[in-house]
Amino acid sequence: MHAFDAIYQRRAIRHFDPTHRFTKEEFDQLIELGMQAPSSFNLQHWRVVNVTDPDLRKQVRSAAWDQAQVTDASLLFVITTDIKVWQKNPGYYLRNAPKEAQGILLPLIAPFYEGKDQLQRDEAMRSVGLFMQTLMIAAKAMGYDSCPMIGFDPGKVAELIHLPADHAIGALLTIGKRVKDAHQKSGYVDKSTMLIENHF
């Protein structure tokens, strides 16, 4: 599927075939495509909990307003983010960059994040958003549908997945084979409202 088509056709789908399963090759391809998302300093803050245990899925569904896609979709990802990844061997994430680039970027990381808790969280969540959008477009291009979800109790889900203290949950993401179309698009703001040239 052309990238433009995947973008236009991607919708939040809530009705999935509960019998459908991804092949290992499809799953690996999906994850590999998601990993191409950009991130600040290439730190790749995202940490993806792939919930495969049926009982755990039921518990997550209970914490997610009993939304059926949590258990019915082929895949349930809890998209989390490591807020403190910048402190944890940042050189690892730049190991394949040219030495010149490493020499420029590595010394910038600590001063950029140090003592700026809000920036650390903001940047981690930006990375989650970029990763999720890449994953959703990839899924659509592969012929699958997805549903990003914020309708859940984050504290309960964090408890269920044993979320580390220096991590946060960005969203849930379900992916699978749709059995029912989404409703008609709600519409978009006028471009004149959305697009501001130079300043407000």
Q: Kindly report the CATH number assigned to the domain that includes residue 143.
A: 3.40.109.10
- Which residues span the domain enclosing 61? 3-180
Whether 134 and 33 have beta carbons less than 8 Å apart is answered as yes
The answer as to whether 29 is a domain residue is: yes
| pLDDT tens for each residue of the chain, 200 residues long | 899 999 999 999 999 999 999 999 999 999 999 999 999 999 999 999 999 999 999 999 999 999 999 999 999 999 999 999 999 999 999 999 999 999 999 999 999 999 999 999 999 999 999 999 999 999 999 999 999 999 999 999 999 999 999 999 999 999 999 999 998 889 999 999 999 999 99
Ranges of H-type helices in 10-153: 24-34, 54-62, 69-72, 99-113, 117-141
The pLDDT tens digits of the residues spanning 188-197 come to 999 999 999 9
Burial class (CB in 10 A: 0-12, 13-18, 19+), 27: middle
> Tokens 């391809």 label which residue?
29
The answer as to whether 146 is a domain residue is: yes
pTM to 2 decimal places: 0.94
The answer as to whether 191 is a domain residue is: no
The answer as to whether 195 is a domain residue is: no
Number of domains in the chain: 1
